[in-house]
Amino acid sequence: MELLTALRTHRIVAIVRGADADAALRTVLTLAEEGLALIEVSLSGTDALDVIRRARAALGPAAPLGAGTVLTAEDAAAVREAGADFVVTPAVCEGVTEAKRLGLPVLAGVMTPSDIVAAQRLGADAYKLFPAAQAGGPGYLEALRGPFPDAPFVPVGGVDDEAARAYLARGATAVGVGSPLIGDAADGGSADALRERTRAFLDAVRLPAAQRQGSSA
């Protein structure tokens, strides 16, 4: 898949991490039904590889499906076998190198300029600014864009719908959202509430009409 194109188009990645594998799968499918196209299943959730396998079977081969918290070469190989077609890491680590070797696009976790340079050298497709809120929020993103004006940043960590708007306004390519969007859905919570939150986030990241028209001109 063309990860960078997808990030620029959809502008949000949902991060699913749950203690209940069946609920996590339902969460993935609910997000997809509501039109949220980029979904990441974190390996830190219960039976995450099985969730990825079942989600891939349910969504079909064409739907983007990511695996997160990929740290090692073994993680990268396992998520590829399970059906993930992009990888998200929390840091610049072995998972980046192996995922690229396997032909998977990577959203690599970074915080500092040194991290960004290291991730660039490994061929990362985009940069997960994590944890974004603790790093300094939208102001820190704007500061990083000085030395890295063309780098595709995806802030993750503490991103609610208002923060999503602020990051995108400061030049983020997309945002990654976990608990402010997922809530308790991946642990068995309300699917209806998840649907409402999903619609609110999709509205928050939607391009203004003028920009949509400009991008299609």
Q: Render pLDDT for 8-27 as a digit per residue (tens, 0 to 9).
A: 999 999 999 999 999 999 99
Cβ contact 154:175 at 8 Å:
yes
pLDDT one-digit tens code per residue, 114-147: 999 999 999 999 999 999 999 999 999 999 999 9
Query: Catalytic positions, please?
Result: 40, 128
pTM (two decimals): 0.94
Q: Is 192 exposed, middle or buried (0-12, 13-18, 19+ CB in 10 A)?
A: exposed
Dig out the tokens for 191 from the structure: 């699917």
**What is the Cα–Cα distance from 154 to 127, expressed in whole angstroms?**
6
Domain CATH code at residue 137 = 3.20.20.70
Count up the domains in the chain and report the number. Answer: 1
Helix (H, G, I), strand (E, B) or coil at 54: helix
- DSSP label at 208? P
Question: Which strands sit side by side in the sheet containing 153-155, from one edge to the other?
Answer: 153-155, 126-129, 106-110, 86-88, 66-68, 38-42, 12-16, 175-177
Strand partners, 154: 128
